[in-house]
Amino acid sequence: MITLTDNSTATVNLEPNAPACTTTCYVDGATGKILSKYDNLAQARGRALVFDPNPVIALKDWRPLVRNGRPVSPPARAYTEVSLRDLAGNGLLDGRRVSTRLTSKRVRRLDHRFLFRSTASGFDEAMIYFHVDRAMRHLESLGYRGRRAIFRDPLPANAHGTREDNSWYSPVLRSLTFGTGGVDDAEDGETILHEFGHALQDAICPDFGQSPEAAARGEGFGDYFAASFFAAKKPPRFRTSVAMWDAIDNDEYDPPCLRRVDEPLTYESFDHSPDADEHENGTIWSATLWEVREAVGPEIADRIIIESHFQLDGFTTFARGARAILDAD
């Protein structure tokens, strides 16, 4: 079966009867050259319980999840059972696109059924695997595959790397680390995709974020990527709020969240002081990207915003970032 995916690439699925295999090839439509291929049957599938993206969105309300100012255990209806694709088949959460191999005391299920509630340590691993794997598939759907693939190797992650309420991407180790302070950061799909946004930028533009404006752009892009990816799952009132479960006790916003992507800010609001917070400055950039999304739609916005990074370096500015988006368009 041949599926045309754009003007220059075809997807070819080969399914001979013997020996049993299902090989997917990405082929250059002009030259016939095989760009990449893999055997689908060499990968296992699993099942997992996850928040998609978090229990606030599942319940469409944050109030049942807080008691006396503290988060409470989400009810059963907050979970979604999902398929975990392209597992290595070793009973661990290792796959073609992501691996939780940096996590100590990893969960192992030889039947590939990771049906944990959030009180079990394996839940965070399953969350990371599912959400990062799906985000990478989204990139592939935008055209970043074969010769244009952004990630060549599985992205490693540590689900419980620190007891602090903090998570990060390390450009040195090229890995994700999630904290367990407060609500475990890996319990919120938007927090996971925010950190994945840093990995995405670094994969395209190594050492992205070396100047104050570039660092702010990195935080703003992470918020935008998470908000854009999950926008269709959210009620309108929650659509521009990011990481509502991770920051369920943050009463700075209504509804509670870590940050928003629709703040009424412009570059004039940028804090140039030496101790400025790149996350706060980043809300200027995320609001800019969100307006682009509102103007041209999510698929076009995601594509041109991601594509714009190929023109940038680690010390980029807001002005250069804006120019790069126009050039990518």
Q: Note whether 88 and 43 are within 8 A (CB).
A: yes
Question: Between these two residues, 104 and 5, which has the higher pLDDT value?
Answer: 104
Alpha helix stretches (DSSP H) within the chain: 55-59, 121-141, 189-204, 212-230, 278-296, 298-308, 318-328
| Residue pLDDT, tens place only, 281-311 | 999 999 999 999 999 999 999 999 999 999 9
| Residue pLDDT, tens place only, 143-196 | 999 999 999 999 999 999 999 999 999 999 999 999 999 999 999 999 999 999
Q: Note whether 115 and 71 are within 8 A (CB).
A: no
Assign 24 to helix, strand or coil.
Answer: strand
Q: Note whether 244 and 54 are within 8 A (CB).
A: yes
Query: What is the pTM (predicted TM-score) of this model?
Result: 0.88
Q: Take residue 274 and report the two structure tokens written for it.
A: 């030496």
Q: Take residue 111 and report the two structure tokens written for it.
A: 């039947």
How many C-beta atoms surround the C-beta of residue 305 within 10 A?
A: 22
Percentage of residues of the chain with pLDDT beyond 70: 89
Q: In what order do the strands lie in the sheet with 155-162?
A: 98-99, 155-162, 175-179, 168-170
Q: Looking at the DSSP assignment, which residues form a beta bridge with residue 84? A: 46
| Residue pLDDT, tens place only, 5-47 | 455 555 455 545 444 444 555 566 778 776 545 444 448 999 9
Distance between CA atoms of 234 and 305, rounded to whole angstroms? Answer: 22
State the pLDDT at residue 35. 52
pLDDT (mean) for 124-133: 98
State the pLDDT at residue 33. 73
CA 117 and chain centroid, separation: 21
How many C-beta atoms surround the C-beta of residue 33 within 10 A?
A: 11
